[in-house]
Amino acid sequence: MQQSNSYAPTTDIRLAYRWCDPLTPLEGEALERWYVDCSDVRGVHGFVQRIANRIEYASEPSEVEIGRPFGHVLVSGHKGCGKSTELQRLKQHLERKAYCVLYIDMLKDVTPDQMDAEAVILVTMRQLIQQLDEIHDIQLEQHDLDAIQEWFGDTLQEKADVKETELEVGGEAGLGAAHPLMKLLVGFKGYIKRAKSQERTFTVEYRRYLEDLSERLNDLLARARLALEDQPLVLILDGLDRMEDQYLQQEVFIDYQQFLADLQVHTAFTVPVSLVCSDASRGLQDAFGEPQLLPCIKVDTAHGLQKAREIVLRRCDDSLFEDGVIDYICRNSGGDVRNIMRLLREAFTGTTTPPVSQRDAESAFHSMVRGFANWLDEEDYDALVRHHRNRDLSPTDAVGRRLLIAGAILSYCNENIWFQVHPAVQSLKRFRDKLEASAEETGAGESDD
């Protein structure tokens, strides 16, 4: 089928600016228009198909009756590497095979610093009810919703020692359901953690509460599967990878991971890349199987650079740029798709009429360099030099994990995972000075031997 003119790359710099949005994943028409399959130059051929297979192979008509386990898949990668776009492709792929797929973006309901185990379960509950109703026109039985609400009234209020009149129900607008349960799923967030009790008692009570809460979620999932009849249900829980707080990462994916592993539904979760590339990965593999990591594009290869260029040229006509500018931007992005979009947008703001010049592109890159300089400290530079000198060194300590989350260290894959310091960080004088001093110390040590 021939594409319409609306699919053609734009020659309008203002429209190009809007189309190169670094924060919005591709979905719907944008996915059809602009998606470029870079799996081969990421070193992860068939990324979406492998996730889909783990779900499809676990799907049987009799799975509930015979207790067949559901497919639970962890998906990871840097912020901005393209995970959400790939998960939208997974949704599209499974829907073509008659699955009912609910895409839940946690960040629309909670901020990363609020994303504890309780929040994950409550948001999933609320979005399950809401999306089945609004998108799929499936209403769960009233008595099932009433039973969940009654549990909140009888159990949660008793444990948290609060009265119904004390609930501060916020965020009602746009819930899409008038049932009081929807208000409770927002209003109760955090009350159990504000309960007055000793720490030891609190830990026991919190675990019991989460066990009860996850059972209520599984009850809803069972009712949803019955309402869907023979159509398999899949949840995609996106945004969980945005947790930067190691305490929350530990709580959700390590301490209380069983609540996720026991979900009675096929599920794909995002997980922080710092956990996948740390000593905690063993526990993740035991509970969920091998995490599916989406590495950066290897723009230091001719094929990788060509793919990165294609990402730009799907949106922007080549006439918008001076010769060499697109290559410069792609190379200095480190192969991270969001960084490509960020550099393009910043370069566009440097001019009112095309073409975007090399000077505009360099100015955009230097802005990114300054961004890293604003927060990196002495300890960070020491770690960055170590990783630059040994790209096989996995950033498992606290400093390395923080640098990985922040994108100062990027992950890549051939047969094995390896790491590289972001090009913007490599341009910092402080980094270059540290690297030179490290080389001199190494040379002195070798000569002493």
Question: In what helix (H) or strand (E) does residue 307 lie, and over which residues does it extend?
Answer: helix 302-313
H helices of 314-397, where?
Answer: 325-332, 337-348, 358-373, 378-389
Task: Give the Cα separation of 167 and 159 in Å (integer).
Answer: 14
What are the distances in angstroms from CA 235 to CA 50, 100, 127, 256, 343?
A: 16, 9, 10, 19, 33
User: Which stretches of the chain drop beneath a pLDDT of 70?
Assistant: 1-6, 60-69, 155-203, 442-449
Q: What is the pLDDT of residue 50?
A: 93
Measuring CA to CA, which residue among 279, 275, 333 is closest to residue 77?
Answer: 275
CA dihedral 19→22→24→27, nearest 10 degrees, is 60
Q: Could you give phi then psi for residue 266, rounded to 5 degrees?
A: -65, 130
The answer to whether residues 89 and 48 touch, using CB atoms and an 8 Å cutoff, is yes
Angstrom distances, CA of residue 427 to CA of 296, 298, 335, 357, 433? 19, 19, 16, 20, 11
Cis ω on the peptide bond leading into residue 295 (within 30° of 0)?
no
Q: Taking each helix axis from N to C terminus, what angle separates 325-332 and 337-348, rounded to the nearest 10 degrees?
A: 130
Comparing C-alpha atoms, which of 329, 399, 335, 395 is closest to residue 366?
Answer: 329
Short-list 2, 78, 48, 69, CA closest to 342: 78
Q: Going by DSSP bridges, is the β-strand pair 409-413/417-421 parallel, antiparallel, or unpaired?
A: antiparallel
- Taking a C-beta distance cutoff of 8 angstroms, is the pair 234, 87 a contact? no
Sheet of 292-293, strands arranged across:
100-105, 233-238, 266-271, 72-76, 292-293
Tell me the pTM: 0.87
What is residue 342's predicted lDDT score, i.e. its pLDDT? 97
Tokens of 2: 């021939």
d(CA 400, CA 128): 36
Structural contact between residues 411 and 277, judged by C-beta atoms closer than 8 angstroms: yes
φ/ψ (deg, to 5) at 292: -95, 105
Alpha carbons 296 and 38: distance in angstroms, whole number:
9
Closest to 218 (Cα-Cα) out of 182, 264, 151: 264
